[in-house]
Amino acid sequence: MANPTKKEAPFTMDIFTAGLWKENPVFVMMLGLCPVLAVTNSVENSLAMGLASVFVLVCSNALVSALRDFIPKQVRITTYIIIIATFVTLVDYIIQAISLDLYNKLGAFIQLIVVNCLILGRAEAYASKNSFGKSVISALGMGLGFTLALVMLGGVRELLGAGQLLGYQVFSLDFEPWVVMILPPGGFIVLGSWLLLINYFEQRKTGKLIAEDAASHCTVSQSRGL
């Protein structure tokens, strides 16, 4: 049972925005890389997988948080998997009803959302320890951050691999597609390139903050010397 006297931290927008960038599941935490590398050969596939993951993540975290005081610790992981699998099955049927062609493109990776370490890890590490509202908002931020990463990869791969975005021709017909981009190695290449670019800007930002901090300390020291 949760301790009724323990006060939870107040709600802030950081709970939502953390998953979008600061704790992005793909670019920072490196979670769920199996679907990230497998289905991001187009924006359509990336968006569909991302939204499916958002639905499962939000619904499962909401239910885990609502039932956290009633789930015995001994069977909590099993219970979480059953909850997640229920929502994954629902998503599976919804995608089949909406577009059988899209369902065939995503293949078995829809069912594999059940064992996505992002979904299960968030249920265990956050939803089981926090209130309903905070769990839903955090899950929404994480899910949208995961979707953002998928679309960023899918956009580059589709653009360079087919010269298109969402089926619309972007480059001229003379453009020679980079076939490797729509093949499995293309996922590793694009993911590595995004990580390199993001880490470069993060290091520049950190270096700038360190330089500004050092400059402020020097200014304070000089003023005290005077």
pLDDT-based confidence at residue 5 (cuts at 50, 70, 90)? very low
Q: Tokens at residue 143, please?
A: 């899910």
DSSP assignment of 103-129:
HHHHGGGTGGGGG-HHHHHHHHHTGGG
Poorest-confidence range of 47-51, 113-117, 147-151?
113-117
What percent of the chain is modeled with pLDDT above 70? 90
Q: What is the structure's pLDDT at 7? A: 56
Query: Per-residue pLDDT tens for 112-125?
Result: 888 888 899 899 99
Q: What is the structure's pLDDT at 22? A: 86
Query: Per-residue pLDDT tens for 75-100?
Result: 999 999 999 999 999 999 999 999 89
Mean pLDDT of 139-147: 94
What are the residue boundaries of the structural domains of the chain, listed by start?
Answer: 14-194
